[in-house]
Structure formats: structure tokens, C-alpha cells
Structure 1
Amino acid sequence: MSCFGVRTAKRPPPDRAWVAEAIRRVEADANRSADTHLHVFPLPPEWGIELYLKDESVHPTGSLKHRLARSLFLYALASGWIGEGTTVIEASSGSTAVSEAYFARLLGLPFVAVMPAWTSPEKIALIEFQGGRCHLIDDPRGIDAESRRLADECGGHFMDQFTYAERATDWRGNNNIAESIFEQLSAEPHPIPRWIVVGAGTGGTSATIGRYVRYRRYATQVCVVDPDGSAFFRGWCEDDPSCTAEGSRIEGIGRPRVESSFVADVVDTMMRVPDAASLAAMRYLAAVTGRRAGGSTGTNLWGALALVARMLRDGDRGSVVTLICDGGDRYAHTYYDDSWVARQGLDLEPYAKVLERFGATGEWMTP
């Protein structure tokens, strides 16, 4: 009697030869991309504290999400979910979709981004430049359901970054962002940072870094900064993953619900950052370093500077690391546009004064 069974599938499995070539192309892209830079943020040397900015904006698609998109494609290819001609669909507020559109084009696959209607026109243009199509909806709470509907309709694959981000990346190493940070810090005055500060969109980056520092037995702590309108902060504080919120104005981070890729137990502390503080810090970065970045970088920087001020107050020495998530050119008509900021009812001035005082004295006086 034969021990081999017969299974009827909704669609035939992908051709293994095509999958092998697709994986080779994605890995070759990684080999062609040098690691991202680790910049020093200027602080007075007498403080004995170093702040580093991991510049993820230099990836081929210009953001931190390039790492995630690469991992998601490799995970889906190895799992048998993507084959030749498969339409790839993602729910994204912008940067993940830009990066996934890049990899879809690399593999000759159609790509559709389901995204909120208010996504910046610069990001929409970038997705379309990479060959993707944008499917805009008014209510951001419905993007997952709409993505699944489209995938079912065309027989495609919903990538679902918010579910698979924390498992698609190898948190033990393999040149993930955490391993890269520690290798680049190895010759610095304080090679084991006191804090690594990141925002949460999917939660995949904080999960990767939090697991890695525990796996390598480092004393580094992870601080997740969360913008207005996001559910992560309240969900973490109340230990309630069912928390919901209206959603964030800071593209790329903050979610109306606590996503399944957010691993709360590897987060040491969280900090709520007002949107006006995020934009003030984003502009402060440009004024101090000449580097224009997006709003999520401003959220990161606000949290990192607050921790530096706390260390200085307590007489601590050491290093802090945070991320430049993407470049500021994507937000010329939003976060860098004073008229747009005014229409949002945001007053940056009180937070700009906090940053100016910090730069002059090291003191942190929250409005």
C-alpha cells in the first residue's frame, strides 16, 4: 500500500526552480547593499554620553522598511506563498509599500498597496515609480480587510506585515539591524548602549532588537516611543493587547490597534510622544546636523534626547542609539510645510524650546 497521500490545493504550489531564482535575486540585492551608517549626534563631550543615529534612509528604497520587505519576501517565498505571476498585496501607510514594490519589480510580480487616502503624495509617487499600484481607502482601520479581499479576488498573496514582521526576521543575527548596531559600536567609547530607542509600526524592529539583546545577554534596554493616536502605549501600560485607538498622524509608526508582531515582553519601557514634539525634533535634527528626516525619526529623537537628559541628571555615562527611519524629502508637503502643520492644529514652538534648552544646558523641561 502506498504511503503517499493526495492533497487538493486551491492553487498549485509555486515552481521550485522559479522560487530558487527569486530567492537568489533577493539575496543578491542584500549583498549589493552596504550596511547603513551610524552617525554621531553632537553632544558636549564633557557629558560623557554618546548618541548615535542608525541611518536607515540610505537603503535602496530609502527607509528602514527595506530590511522588513526583504525579510517578508524571503519568508513568503520559502513558505510557498509566492510564485511566478503572484500578485503581492500589502496594507501599508507608505514606506513598507515602497520597499515591497521594489522587490516585487525585482521578481517581475504585480504589486498593490492598500493605504490610507491621506498618505503623502511623495510616497504614492515612489510606490508608482517602483511599478506598484496604490489602492486608497478613507478609513485606515479597514486596510487589512480590504487587502484580504483584493488578494482573494485576484488569487494573490496578502503579505500582512503586521502579522509576520516579528517572525520573518532572524532575531539571532544574520546581519539584522541589532547585530549591525553592536558591530558598528564595537570600537566606540561605550560599545554596549544603555538604551536603543525605536518606534513601533508593525512592532518587528523592537521585537528583533529586544530578542537579540536578551539572546546575546547584553544589559541594553529597549525604549519604544509611540505617537499620539496609537494603541501600542496604552496596550503596553495596561497589558491589554485588545486596546484600540484612532490611528497615528506620524507615518510609519503608531497603529489603531496593538498588532500581533508587537512583542510587549521584550520592551523595557515606553514613552508617549506628542505629534508636535515629533515634528519639532525632526526639524531640530535638520538644524543641528543638516540631515532631513521624517516624522518617525523625530519621534525617535525626542525619546532618545529625553533619555540622554535623564542619564545626565542622574550622573550616568554611556551611549544611546536610535534610528533615522527615512528621509525628509517624502514629507515636503506635510511635516515640513508650515501651512500643513497649522491646518493640523499643531503648535511646535513649546517643544522647540524644550530642545533648545536641552542643547544649551542638558536640562529637559517637558511642556
Structure 2
Amino acid sequence: MTMAHSHDHDHDHPHDHAPAVTGANERKVLISFFLIFIFMLVEVAGGILSGSLTLLADAGHMLTDAVALALAYAAFRYGRRAADDKRTFGYLRFEVIAGFVNAITLFGIVLWIAIEAWQRLLQPQPVLAGPMFVVALAGLLINALVFWILTRGDSDHVNIKGAMLHVLGDLLGSVGAVGAAIVIYFTGWMPIDPILSVVVSLLILRSAWHLLAKSLHILLEGAPDNAKPEMIQRHLQDAVPGVAEISHVHVWLITSGRALATLHVRPVRDAEARLVARAVEHELMARFGIEHATVAIDWNEEDAASCSLTNGPMTLADPHGCEPRA
């Protein structure tokens, strides 16, 4: 069977089908990042001065928030940079690589917290409940403010949504730190600090594992959850008229929310190949959010001779002479 690749895409249409992010919303993400990052440093200082491991663990969780916001902002900025001869997809994978490195770092933070917590359980250390309570309460308020700011932005965007989930998780960590300070102040029971630090570190571990799995999936060119090859094949054969067979479907993510695909399409009639290819591209975008697809046409062998004799000699663009004549 002979084949021809149909690259007859409408290259004039925009390729960024992700939710648009305005300059105002970019500023909201940047402001949120600075609030979280600066207060993370405050929590580190407060944890050291008060002797609270829970505050240090919460600072580690705030680091995940800061990185999530930084990646969101970087994705917006670098995503607009034009592709060049060396980077034909631009800098879209910058956030994925940064996310992978961040996830590995977070596993190290969790391990350190776990070792320190175990040592403190064996030999409890004094914690200054007053400073701990003040810093933890301020952290709770900062996280609430940042969450409110983010809900006023493009909350449908995958990066902003991820940052919101990070901040929401850190709210729980701040609540735990406040609770630990109250328990220590009224009861003097010091083990509550390392115990709650482990609880907060589990929140970090959850975020780190999700970030690692997501970034690895993209770096390994995995398919989006909502666009598996078998799903695409089944849907196109049912939804697009004139399709005889869909095969060799490959779909992968360039970065979060940006999917590409290649596939083979055998039309019922070769003369309708161009219309079928366009319909397939449209359906891929409308149903699966795949903004760029390369469609290869599997020609029907039995039609090859008749098409060439009827429509004229073959060309590179139309190897079987099956393109409709104007």
C-alpha cells in the first residue's frame, strides 16, 4: 500500500488553544509568588528562632507553592517566545524540566524532616509557643490572601489551577502549625511539634510525587489522560464521515495542556481524502484539545489506478491523481 502524508493544515489559525492569560493575571501570579516566597523565608527564620520543626516543614510546603507559582509565571512568559531553528517548539518544556528538578528537591526536604522528627521524638526539644503561634497565624493569613488573589485570575488555566491546589494544601499545614503552638502553650507537650511536622511533610510528599509523576509523564512523551490513542481511534471512526480506518495513532504532551498527535487515516473514497483529513483535524481539536495534528493518508490500493487514469498524472502533492479538480 502506498502512502502520502497530508500536511494540508490551515497554518493561519492560532496554535495556542489554552485559556488566554492576560497581563493583569500574570501580575496576580507574580504578586502571589513574592508573597509566598518572602513569607517562606520568614517561616524559616521563625522555625529556627522558636525551635519549631512544624514551622520549618510548613516552610518547605510553602516552597512547593512558590515553585508552582514561579512555574506558572514562567510558562506564561516563555510560552510566548517564538520557536527557532534549534527549538522548533519554543521553550514550552521549560516548566516541565523545572518541575522535575523541584520534585527531586522536595523529596530531599521530606527526608530531612522525617529524620529530624524522629530525633526530636527520641529527645524532645523546647519550642517557644508564642513566636511559633504568631508566625503560623501570619502564614495562615498569607495563604488565604494568595488563594483569594488566584481565584480572581484565570482559574481554568492548568498552571493556575495547580498553584491554587498547592496553596490550599499549605493552608492545612498552617492550621496544623497554629494547632501545635496552642497545644504546646497550654499543655507543654513538645512531641506534638515533630508529630505535626511529619503530617505536613506528608502534604509535601503528596505534592512532590504528583509533580514528579506529571513531569516524567510529559518528558517521556506520554498521552494526556483524556486523549488516549484508543479513545481517539474509536471516536474518529464514529464521528467523522468518510473515514474507513484510523491507525498508527500517537499522541503526546509538549507541556502541560499542550498536546500533539500523528495518525494514519484511510478514507472511504480517495477523492475525499483532503476533506476527511480536515474533518479529523477539526475533531481532534474540538473533542480532545489537540491543537496540531499530522495526518497521513492511507490510500486505497484498488482506487489508485482508476484515480490516476481519470484525473491525470500523479504529483508529489497528489500521488494518485485523486485530488478533486477545480
TM class, shorter-length: under 0.3
Tell me the TM-score normalised to structure 2 length. 0.27
Report the structure, 1 or 2, having the larger helix content: 2
Q: Which has the higher contact order (CA 8 A, sep 6+)?
A: 2
Tell me the TM-score normalised to structure 1 length. 0.25
